[in-house]
């Protein structure tokens, strides 16, 4: 019984400290996609102990859909920092919960109940001031969840607020802190989003180092240089494969006045990643008459975790995108398709691209073979009509797909993507695969990677708009490539030619 008593004590604290989170002048609003303020949108703030202790807002095994894109913007105002959170949903919602808490501290949280009169994809805007020193460099967790037609969506963002003294634009780059945040909605794929420094710093690159801490030992996993650009954020994605540990990033800038490893290095909070599935250990102490009670308690406890999507043994989707590289704009379209799959598919999704022209290389052949076997989806991008007649499929890949098509039933989905400038015919081996013409069939294509039918309007979402724009540009370039310049040779017999002048005596 000691276990249950301890759990009750941990999950229901006596005091909730919300004053340390967004100290004053906080606002939360519903806005339409055109950024106009939405009427009939109401909010209710809750700081109850019971709500703060809930590990998930919605206890269901269907919590798999990514709620949408979240952009955090931190600005320095006088002696405090002003944080603006813009949440762009990719799902329709009528009721949503926004929870802001100190990461790992059940005694510090705020929960906003947001409601509207209808189901729509209105964005959420949450602004707040961070004053004083209580919240400096503490890890904070932003969670969003919603329900629509028994479909549940969620989002998880981790961030910390830098010291305003070192976040001003007058601070030299050797001491200037960088604001960033981590999207870990998908435990297999965590995304670091860096807020670019102002142009006055003349940053050329951002250096990102990835670390995993386990048993008090930190291991560097990866180092990348990201080109500096001005926008909402500079994104870096890292695949964890749900390897257990505490993951964190170190971010620094490279500029003319500040060479590599000279500028200030900003460390992000640590994200704790656990393997799917949580072991349940219960010590049974007592006489035989307690056994039925313990078994019943075990059933209830197991049932609780079974209904919490965060701890489910969810299958990991493995998507393989096969493509034959062509002109530059087409290759950019392929990458945009991959970005859309990663953005709009279920959280437990890993996407790998395979260049079909390099499969004959031994290292690539093994990579391709292993990933085909592990894949749940194989996406073939039909080449442009400007290319030669080959499909790009090598012998090994061709035979693998051939065997898949022979099966009466298969858990592996075969998909063909056709673009406006693609060849009319697809390889005969893929004739039975599902065909999608982008961007016309985009919703159906994205639903191929979801266990439920998601009805959403993607037309206003940045990732979709980027894909649509790249397809349009690639289509124009394909037409230009296909045009053969006409060379017209004219000859005027009345005028003397250079050769005639040479032979005159």
| Every domain of the chain and the residues it spans | 9-168, 198-276, 279-313, 317-482
CATH class in words for 317-482: alpha beta
Structure pTM? Answer: 0.58
Name which residue leads in pLDDT, 240 or 178: 178
Q: Is the pLDDT of residue 276 over 50?
A: yes
pLDDT tens digit string along 450-494? 766 666 777 778 888 889 999 999 888 888 876 555 555 655 555
What was the pLDDT predicted at 317? Answer: 77
Q: Is the pLDDT of residue 10 over 60?
A: no
What was the pLDDT predicted at 247? Answer: 95
Residue appearing with tokens 């909070």: 269
d(CA 127, CA 107): 22
Name which residue leads in pLDDT, 111 or 453: 111
Q: What is the mean pLDDT of residues 292-296?
A: 49
Q: Of 59-63, 176-180, 316-320, which gets the smallest average pLDDT?
A: 59-63
Q: Is the pLDDT of residue 179 over 90?
A: yes
Residues 6+ apart with CB under 8 A from 479: 421
Tokens of 177: 């802190």
3-state helix, strand, coil in the chain (%, to 5): 25, 35, 40
Q: Is the pLDDT of residue 46 over 70?
A: no
Q: pLDDT confidence of 51, banded at 50, 70, 90?
A: low
Q: Is the pLDDT of residue 147 over 70?
A: yes
Q: pLDDT confidence of 208, banded at 50, 70, 90?
A: very high
Question: How far is residue 185 from each of residues 126, 158, 348, measured CA to CA in Å?
Answer: 19, 10, 9
- 192 and 169 in contact (C-beta within 8 Å)? no
Name which residue leads in pLDDT, 423 or 389: 423
The 3-class SS string of 290-333 reads HHHHHHHHHHHHHHHHHCCHHHCCCCCEEEEEEECCCCHHHHHH
Q: Is the pLDDT of residue 299 over 50?
A: no
Tokens of 115: 């409601």
CATH (one of 3.40.50.720, 3.90.1150.10, 2.60.40.10, 3.30.560.10) for 9-168: 2.60.40.10
Total residues found in the chain within this entry: 505
Tokens of 450: 């979801």
Percentage of the chain with pLDDT > 90? 12
């Amino acid at each position: 019984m000691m276990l249950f008593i301890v759990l009750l004590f941990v999950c229901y604290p006596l005091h909730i400290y919300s004053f340390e989170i967004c100290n004053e002048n906080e606002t939360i609003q519903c806005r339409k996609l055109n950024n106009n303020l939405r009427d009939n949108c109401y909010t209710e703030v809750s700081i109850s102990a019971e709500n703060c202790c809930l590990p998930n807002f919605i206890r269901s095994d269907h919590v798999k859909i990514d709620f949408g894109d979240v952009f955090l913007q931190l600005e320095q105002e006088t002696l405090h920092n002003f944080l603006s959170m813009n949440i762009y949903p990719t799902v329709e919602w009528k009721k949503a919960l926004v929870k802001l808490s100190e990461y790992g501290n059940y005694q510090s949280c705020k929960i906003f109940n947001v409601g509207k009169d209808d189901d729509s994809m209105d964005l959420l805007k949450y602004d707040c001031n961070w004053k004083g020193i209580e919240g400096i460099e503490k890890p904070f967790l932003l969670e969003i969840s919603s329900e629509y037609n028994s479909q549940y969506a969620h989002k998880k963002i981790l961030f910390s607020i830098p010291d305003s003294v070192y976040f001003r634009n007058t601070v030299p780059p050797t001491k200037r802190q960088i604001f960033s945040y981590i999207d870990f909605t998908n435990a297999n794929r965590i995304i670091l989003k860096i807020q670019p420094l102002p142009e006055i710093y003349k940053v050329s690159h951002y250096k990102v180092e990835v670390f995993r801490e386990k048993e008090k030992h930190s291991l560097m996993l990866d180092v990348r240089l990201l080109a500096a650009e001005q926008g909402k954020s500079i994104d870096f994605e890292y695949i964890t494969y749900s390897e257990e540990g505490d993951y964190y990033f170190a971010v620094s800038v490279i500029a003319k006045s500040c060479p590599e490893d000279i500028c200030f290095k900003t460390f992000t909070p640590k994200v704790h990643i656990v393997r799917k599935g949580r072991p349940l250990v219960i010590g049974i102490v007592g006489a035989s008459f307690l056994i039925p009670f313990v078994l019943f308690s075990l059933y209830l406890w197991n049932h609780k975790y079974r209904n919490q999507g965060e701890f489910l043994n969810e299958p990991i989707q493995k998507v393989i995108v096969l493509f034959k590289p062509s002109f530059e704009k087409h290759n950019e379209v392929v990458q945009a398709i991959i970005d859309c799959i990663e953005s709009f598919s279920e959280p437990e999704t890993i996407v790998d691209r395979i260049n079909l022209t390099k499969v004959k290389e031994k290292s690539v052949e093994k990579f391709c073979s292993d990933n085909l076997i592990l894949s749940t989806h194989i996406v073939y991008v039909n080449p442009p009509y400007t290319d030669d007649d080959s499909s790009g499929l090598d012998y090994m890949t061709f035979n693998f797909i051939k065997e898949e098509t022979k099966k009466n039933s298969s858990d592996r989905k075969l998909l063909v993507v056709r673009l406006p400038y693609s060849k009319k015919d697809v390889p005969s081996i893929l004739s039975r695969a599902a065909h999608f013409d982008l961007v016309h069939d985009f919703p159906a294509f994205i639903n191929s990677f979801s266990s439920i039918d998601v009805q959403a309007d993607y037309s206003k979402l940045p990732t979709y708009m980027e894909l649509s724009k790249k397809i349009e540009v690639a289509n124009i370039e394909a037409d230009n490539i296909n045009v053969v310049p006409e060379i017209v040779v004219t000859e005027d017999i009345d005028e003397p030619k250079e050769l005639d002048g040479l032979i005159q005596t």
